[in-house]
Amino acid sequence: MPRDCLSKTMLLRKLLFLAFVLLFASCMNLSSQNPTAIKGVLDLRQIHDKDKFLVSLNGEWEFYWKKMLFPRDFKGHNLPKPDIYGKVPSYWTEYSGAAFKTGKYGYATYHLTILLPRNLNNRLAFDVPVFDSSFDLWVNDTLLAFNGQTGKSEEETKPGYAPGFHRYIPTGDTMSVVINVSNFQHRRGGFWIPMKLGTFLEVNKKKANMWAGEYATVSVLLVFALFFMIFFLLYPKDRIMIFFSMALFGLALRPLFTSQFLIYDFFPVGWQWTVKMEYLCLYTAMLGWAWFADSLYPSRLIRYVVYVVTFIFSAATIITLLFPVKVFSYSVIAYYPSMMFLIMYVLFCSFKRILQKRYIDAAYFAAFLLLTVGSVHDILVSLGRAYYQVGYIMSFVVVVFVFIQAVLLLYKWGMTFYEKERLHNELEFLNKNLEKLVSERTIDLKIRNEEIEEQNSRIALQNKQLSDTLQLKNKIFSVIAHDLRSPVVNILYMLNLLKEEEYKAKYDTFANSSIQYAQLVINLLENMLVWGRGQEEKIKYSPDIQDLANIILTNLSILKETSDRKDISVNFTQIGSSFAYFDKDLMDIVIRNLLSNAVKYTYRGGRVSILVKDRSNNGEGVLLKICDNGVGISEVNQKHLFTFNEIESTPGTENEKGTGLGLKLCQELIRINMGTILVESTEGEGTCFMIVLPEEKPATAGKEESSQPDK
């Protein structure tokens, strides 16, 4: 693998490892163990270290709807009966009982009894979050904290957000916590963020860490938002940077108006504008995130979704600025599904590209997975369904995402610089070697032109051969149509004559003639079949050491009647061994054709001589010689005897018919058998055909046999 590919792979592996380590670290607190309240009682007596602990006051609190109770109401024997044991943290709109039903607006009392460890002398502290939308917190008989002003109507109440850190010195082993909550200004009311209790040092340390973490998060996100904005100003074509910067600005400013409400450290902001700014930061982050997703993984689907999201949250921005909290706070109904769709979309696209081996998207996939965890957690917190000891974590998760994004940006810069250097070097090389490259290119083009011309010549030759072959086939079929029809018609004619009474005396004559014509048809069809297979390169070739004499004697017996009818004497002489290396079926066709021609072109009373001579001692193979004293072949016809340029059938001495294919076919079959065939003829004196076959399997026989098709 090239070195640059290895470095890319190692970088991506490090990014993935870092992302999953951070993901694991971010989830550590989410799985911490915490005692929970059961039916209004939280038992802390089993805490291992009573001098150092921190717990969330989660679980089942006594809930009294439309009642404003105080610590004195929970003393004595006539204690109030709760409407329901409501799970905390959660909005009270999720509570319902047989005798009551909560609504968005109203007031209620929460009560919890805490059983402390025995002889607890340490100072304790409460980490009190915000409530929607005002509250009074009583511990035993002490008003420990409050936000806004509680009341039983909208006119009596005044909303407020001010999370606090409050010391408390226990006076016994039991604490009674009473919280009066009023809400007539928000879409939902109640106890939606966990309240914490612990030793003073632990709560103080936790609070300090949260404040320091949020300040660090805001600082980092603002710095990166400015960084990406400056990058966009320098490279305006890279629009993804301005969208990412927009999302970072929204997420950087949001912690000022949520969780620890850092904005109150600088100047006071009214409750209405605190909530408005929280939602406006949320809209800004959503719009930036939507356009970032569209720029990172563009598609027709995401573009339509982004248009819809832009319209919805632009309208939500106007509504937030013009209307009170109880109206614009419903915009979160659109925020949750939009955020989850966008995250699922980028997760799907990044995973799909990983499958396409675009491994740079593995880092994006890990980062988007972190965002998914952060988004789901923050949604649960905002819905009052988080049971963990942490509040909003989205800003912290985004810091990790921004870090990964910055690393990817630097990686892209590095790759862009590398590509620029590579192109620069290539350009210098081209400038220095332009003349040489042009010359090489010219030579290359010339070679290719010659190759094309050679291919054109081969194509033209093949076209000519194809045309000649088609013409040859037309001639052959024309000859066959004539020569095949004639003997068949004669056979039918003689068979019809035999049906007549007057010709039955000539039965033997007609039968012999029919046999002769039938043999002619068989030879014709056999030659045509072998020739057709040869044209398709489908001739079966299975050579072995065979006896030529057996094939000769078999064919002589077949032709005996024809030779006897013409009073032709046939003489067969064998000198030495008659065994040779050939294919029996193919040589049977050759010998039959040559003997048939010898008889056909020999005059009545003539002779045909056959000689088989073993010349293997001299390394000259086995000779087969078939001679006759017939009509002979002219020198002109001898030139075309073994070629397909001319197809002409010459009648025999007694007008026997043929196709003109026999000798041409013989030459092809002898070649397949790795032999040779020659002719010696004098017109008017006779003809001799001489065939030489190998006496044993030649050294090149394996290669030759493998080149022959066998079907």
Tens of pLDDT, residue by residue over 230-286, are 888 888 887 888 998 998 899 889 889 988 888 988 888 899 999 999 999 999 999
Alpha-carbon distance of 586 to 609, in angstroms, equals: 22
Q: Which tops the pLDDT comparison, 153 or 596?
A: 153
Q: How does the average pLDDT of the chain come out, rounded?
A: 81
Q: Tens digits of per-residue pLDDT, 626-673? A: 999 988 888 877 777 776 555 566 777 877 766 566 777 788 788 888
pLDDT at 304 over 90: yes
Give the strand pairing for 84-88 and 59-65. Answer: antiparallel
pLDDT band of 537, cuts 50, 70, 90: low
Mapped onto helix, strand or coil, the DSSP state of residue 613 is strand
Least confident of 45-59, 213-227, 270-284, 427-441: 427-441
Alpha-helical segments (H) within 142-239: 200-234
Closest of 525, 404, 410, 422 to residue 476, by C-alpha: 525
Six token digits for residue 454 = 């050679």
Residue 599, pLDDT score = 87
Q: Which tops the pLDDT comparison, 505 or 670?
A: 670
C-beta of residue 633 within 8 angstroms of C-beta of residue 683: yes
Place of tokens 């004499």: 549
Residue 682, pLDDT score = 87
pLDDT at 111 over 60: yes
Closest of 45, 668, 22 to residue 397, by C-alpha: 22
Q: Which tops the pLDDT comparison, 96 or 625?
A: 625
Give the strand pairing for 607-614 and 569-575. Answer: parallel
Q: Which tops the pLDDT comparison, 487 or 561?
A: 561
Residue 30, pLDDT score = 42
How many other C-beta atoms are found inside a 10 Å radius of the C-beta of residue 488? Answer: 14
Alpha-carbon distance of 113 to 139, in angstroms, equals: 10
pLDDT band of 361, cuts 50, 70, 90: confident
Residue 237, pLDDT score = 81
Least confident of 32-41, 222-231, 518-527, 546-555: 518-527
Mean pLDDT of the region 204-227: 88
What pTM did the predictor assign? 0.56
Cα end-to-end distance, the chain, whole Å: 48
What is the rounded radius of gyration, in angstroms, for the C-alpha atoms of the chain? 53
How many other C-beta atoms are found inside a 10 Å radius of the C-beta of residue 509? Answer: 11
Give the strand pairing for 41-43 and 106-115. Answer: parallel
Which residues, in sequence order, are CB contacts of 528 under 8 Å at separation 6+?
A: 476, 480, 659, 661
C-beta of residue 469 within 8 angstroms of C-beta of residue 531: no
Six token digits for residue 706 = 């493998």
CA atoms within 13 A on the CB side of 525: 10
pLDDT at 382 over 50: yes
Least confident of 348-352, 437-441, 693-697: 437-441
- Cα 679 to Cα 609, 662, 688: the distances in Å are 15, 14, 6
Highest mean pLDDT among 21-30, 281-290, 422-431, 644-653: 281-290
pLDDT at 37 over 80: yes
Mean pLDDT of the region 400-406: 76
Dihedral sign, Cα of residue 554, residue 557, residue 563, residue 568: positive
C-beta of residue 336 within 8 angstroms of C-beta of residue 287: no
Alpha-carbon distance of 252 to 218, in angstroms, equals: 5
How many other C-beta atoms are found inside a 10 Å radius of the C-beta of residue 324? Answer: 13
Domains of the chain and any CATH numbers: 3-31+207-418 (1.20.1070), 41-194 (2.60.120.260), 538-706 (3.30.565.10)
Closest of 136, 133, 135, 129 to residue 56, by C-alpha: 129
Q: Tens digits of per-residue pLDDT, 91-103? A: 898 887 767 788 8
Residue 610, pLDDT score = 93
Residue 469, pLDDT score = 61
